[in-house]
Chain A
Amino acid sequence: MSEIFEILLSANFWAASLRIATPLIFGVLGALVCERAGVLNLGIEGIFTAGAMAGWMAVWLGAGLWGGVMVAAIAGGFFGLIHAILTVPLGLSQHVSGIGVTLFATSLSYFIYRTALPDVSSPPRIEAFQPLDIPVLSDLPFLGTALFQQTSLTFLALLLVIVTAYVLYRTPLGLAIQAVGDNPSAVESQGLSVYGLRIGAIVAGSAIMALGGAFLTMSAFDAFFFGMVNGRGWICIALTVFASWRPGKALIGALLFGAFDAFQVRLQTEIGSFIPGQIFLMMPYVLSIIALVVVARRADYPRALLVPYFRGQR
């Protein structure tokens, strides 16, 4: 027991939780923007991969770190646009289109990476984002380590939570996005474009998702690996339901998830080899399934989620 308390009381543990949560915060925010507008985006896993690869490659080619972030967002937006065109004006199955975008974005990223770097044995590294050293705040006892020694991308994620919440709840645009996911024909009757709102939301949401991927190659690691996204996108889809499509709850869900993941890694080193390592590695996926099951009954899905909208048709 005492080991458990020791873990929970260490500032490094909370710093790790926030670090693990960061890509998930981006992913859940992106997913909820799409779903609030009524479109499930299963392209997320591939968009993560594309963001990770494009961002890394831009930096590697000399675009600078923030240039890399921009490139990642644009790549995400591009794949989002494909999903948007297929699912909104063409009204195709959001499930299958999303899987298609994931396969396309993943294989395109891998192909470009392999073509640009045909025979490297170890992946080339970039100078990644370093933890910020904020005067005063970073030096605070405990809190300084736990909260303020993160990289800029983590702070960007936290900022995006606030921005997304503000836009969604406090601006006409946000209210229109919510309405288009609940009752598109009412939006149409207000003279707003259902297609425009949905396409815009998917592109913006996908750009945000891609930043989660960029965090992996530009902050958590400093190189691109095959299979590095490893289901994080799917976990975000589960967490979005868990967060009831609310940015604030998305942050809490991602942090809880990050804390659990950081905890099990530390527990693993504490208890050592009694339990096979794979049991611990399974936990994020099992936890996501449990999170889904817990909220499934009372999940308040956007009412028009998965329902394509055709003008002049009910």
Chain B
Amino acid sequence: MIRLEPRGPVAVSRLIGVSFAAAIAAVVLAAIPMLFAGLSVFEAYGLMAKGAFGSLFAFTEMLTRATPLILTGLAAAVAFRAKLWNIGAEGQLYAGALAAVAVGTGMISAHPIVLVPAVVLAGALAGGLVMLGPTLLKTRLGVDEVVTTLLLNFVILLFVQMMLEGPMKDPMGMGWPQSEPILDEAALPKLMARMRIHWGLIIALVCALGVYFLLKRTVWGFEIRAVGENANAARHAGIPVTATFVRVGLISGALAGLAGVGEVAGLKGYLTADLSPGFGYSGIVVAMLAGLSPIGVVFAALFIASIFVGADSMSRATGVSNYLADLIVAMALLCVLVSGLFLRFKVHLVGRNARKEAGR
């Protein structure tokens, strides 16, 4: 049998160790499906590493893929800190992208200094407002936010499809359901010539620092952590629990909305209904892998992004399905959950004899 003995506060080094252990465990476990698919494991990982780090182009592609993952990872991390289970980052991402397109395709024409921030803010606002609904339903009516945010993902994606086939369809799009392209003045500038990496990465990194500062150094951050530890105790201590949930919901939704802004205004240039290959859900893995630490999110996002980009490249070279990447990411989540035990508890393996000795 297993006996768990609670631990006290956790050292940062141990936290990082657990994340690394989980990442390595997932990578090792991935050898099983690789062998099943007839791959040589070392060769496959070699191809993946080359695909994610092998050239300047590969490296910038990996950073480009990490950009939305940092933001959706932060969205999950800040919400989970307050035990607000926002599983709706995917929908909030699309809401942000839709708002960015609405503002950035000619609704207003202005100098980039005005227009780019307007696009960014519109996206953040849209994401935040989408999360406001489930948050209020939770605080006012006690409706479980997990289910509402999950269901809203489907509603929002259908809404985006409706807009792209209707009022926001590009008349020059050869009949494809896609939006008009974002104006040059509204687009996030590229960071390097001839590469796809864009200013969304800077925004994501600034957000990571911002969330770190928020959680560590501000009253709001203290309240978020207190509510997450124990909402009832926080209420008795006079912390405005409802207001904290609303704030966290808005911040979390806004971060996911920003991920959508980056993808549409920094990378693709126009909106389609397949903008995100599940960045919202991967963000949950990123956040958990980071132990809900905002700085950790950056590194976890880099890890997950290199899995995705590496697997794409490996898949092109070997013909093995790149669903392998999703599989590794899912296993990373399960591994980090298990290894997280070693953070919160001392785990003892207890035999029958040991139990007898303890007089039970």
Contacts and interface: CB of A to CB of B under 8 A. Distances in A.
Chains A and B belong together in one complex: yes
Interface of A: 42, 82, 86, 89-93, 95-97, 99-101, 103-104, 106-108, 110-112, 114-115, 118, 230-231, 234-235, 237-238, 241, 276, 278-279, 281-282, 285-286, 288-289, 292-293, 296-297, 299, 310
A289 B152 contact: yes
Contact of A278 (B150, B162, B341): B162
A278 B333 contact: no
B329 A279 contact: no
B148 interface: yes
Contacts of A91: 4
B142 A107 contact: no
A286 B49 CA distance: 43
Given A118-B319, A296-B143, A97 B337 contact: yes
In this complex, the interface size class of chain B, counting residues with CB under 8 Å from chain A, is 35 or more
Contact of A115 (B36, B153, B158): B36
B154 A285 contact: yes
Given A99-B284, A111-B323, A115-B37, A104 B330 contact: yes
A92 B347 CA distance: 14
A103 B281 contact: yes
A282 B327 contact: no
Contacts of A292: 143-144, 147-148
Nearest to A287: B151
A101 B165 CA distance: 34
A111 B324 contact: yes
B144 A86 contact: no
A82 B143 CA distance: 27
B146 interface: yes
A134 B137 CA distance: 47
A111 B337 contact: no
A297 B319 CA distance: 52
Contacts of A118: 319, 321
B159 interface: yes
Given A292-B148, A293-B137, A100 B158 contact: no
Given A103-B285, A103-B333, A110-B326, A90 B142 contact: no
B27 to A, nearest CB: 15
DSSP majority for the B interface?
helix
A92 B341 CA distance: 8
Interface string B312-354: 0000000111011011011101100110110000000000000
**Which residue, A89, A90, A278, A299, has most C-beta atoms of chain B within 10 A?**
A278
B113 interface: no
B173 interface: no
Contacts of A281: 158
B154 to A, nearest CB: 5
B151 A289 contact: yes
Given A238-B147, A282-B158, A296-B143, A96 B319 contact: no
B242 to A, nearest CB: 16
B330 A288 contact: no
B333 to A, nearest CB: 4
Given A231-B151, A288-B151, A103 B158 contact: no
Interface in B79-114: 80, 85, 87
A310 B329 CA distance: 29
25 contacts: A42-B146, A92-B338, A92-B340, A100-B333, A101-B334, A103-B329, A103-B330, A107-B323, A107-B329, A107-B330, A110-B321, A111-B326, A111-B327, A114-B321, A230-B154, A234-B150, A235-B151, A237-B146, A276-B166, A278-B158, A278-B159, A281-B158, A282-B154, A285-B154, A289-B152
B17 interface: no
